[in-house]
Amino acid sequence: MHKANPARRRGFTLTELLVVIAIISLLMGMTLPAVMKAYDAAYRMSCQNNLRQMGIALHHYHDTEGSFPPGMVASGINVSDAEATGFTFLLPYLEQDVTYKMYDFNDPWFAPVNWRAVGVQVKMFYCPANRTSGFVDLAPKAADWSVQLPPTAGALDYALCKGANASLVQDGRRVPMEVAGVFGVRAKGDERGGVRLVNIWDGTSNTFAIGDAAAGTPNYLVCDLGDRTKPVQNLLSGQTNILEQSWSAAGVGDTTHPYYGSVFAVTAQYGFMPNARDEPMNRRPATPTVFGGDPYGDNRTGKDWVGGFRSLHTGGCNFLFCDCSVRFVSQSIQPDTYRALSTYAGGEVVSGDW
């Protein structure tokens, strides 16, 4: 007896397939923002943990040395040739003893004896919203300046708060106290001349110590200082420059090489009214750090420049305060409040609604 063939299964029609694809696309569109928001929150918390560890290191350094470290040490008047950074001094308090012991403080960061240490990538110095590793290729810079430099330097996504003034004079104490941050430039031999906690008259809970300073990303190209709405064109390569900085490379750019970041960030270039020359959070294109030789100590001539705080977090930046607390600050903060939080003895009254 002949068996009947089983019924053939009907497949999807083209219309049904398109409907399914449309529904999946709609669902993905609805869930993607929530997923991205969750990622952003996780990255923000991880970044805050990095800053909190740096805060503990700062306080341990203070307990040992009696003050915070200098932000930058320079043996000459030209800060373009500075020799060490505050992050370098913090290494042994960040479980980076091996790197610290490799570093010879008798010589500048660019001396061959320090090349191995300078090239170390310290994981804590990278904001996870931006990257987890990275280095600065110094070969083009060595060729640009016709000098000998290490092949690479470990990169950095954070910055020491220099206050509301970009003056890069060798003796940072010449910067008026009203606009000075807790980190500045010190002459070699004056490494212990940093700010002490008892000198933070505005209150440690109202004073920035370190903040986000994302680098090595095309989100932050270097601006043209002649027209800060446009990215600068490198005279040597003819290309735009991605802002980059290193925890170990203490030098800064000069007026003929206005292409690089530094270990510093500011909230204003001058800080005094009526024209404070504010440096807003997350400015794009980003401001480079440039030693222009302002002779006064308050940058009234505008010859010196320092970049601002910046991040890839949505809507603002994370900041470590001098009391070791870490908070997220919105980029919509009022400029006068933002400047006040960056100085340690300005005498401003800061409301709690920022």
Tens digits of residue pLDDT in 64-81: 999 999 999 998 777 888
Residue 75: per-residue pLDDT: 85
**pLDDT surpassing 90 at residue 344:** yes
Choice among 31-35, 91-95, 182-186 with the minimum mean pLDDT: 31-35
Residue 145: per-residue pLDDT: 83
Residue 22: per-residue pLDDT: 77
**pLDDT surpassing 80 at residue 17:** no
Query: Residues 206-226: what's their mean pLDDT?
Result: 97
Please state, as a whole number, how many other Cβ atoms lie within 10 Å of the Cβ of residue 107: 13
**DSSP reduced 3-state for 114:** helix
Choice among 112-116, 185-189, 290-294 with the minimum mean pLDDT: 185-189
**pLDDT surpassing 70 at residue 31:** no
Which pLDDT band, with edges at 50, 70 and 90, does 9 fall under? low
Query: Residues 239-250: what's their mean pLDDT?
Result: 95
Per the prediction, the chain carries an average pLDDT of 91
Query: Residues 168-197: what's their mean pLDDT?
Result: 88
Rounded to whole angstroms, how far apart are CA atoms 277 and 257?
22
What letter represents residue 267's amino acid? T
Interacting residues of 136 by C-beta distance below 8 A, sequence separation 6+: 152, 153, 154, 155, 216, 244, 245, 246, 249
What's the CA dihedral at 242, 243, 246, 252 to 10 degrees?
120
Which pLDDT band, with edges at 50, 70 and 90, does 237 fall under? confident
**pLDDT surpassing 70 at residue 38:** no
**pLDDT surpassing 70 at residue 1:** no
Choice among 137-141, 150-154, 157-161, 246-250 with the minimum mean pLDDT: 137-141
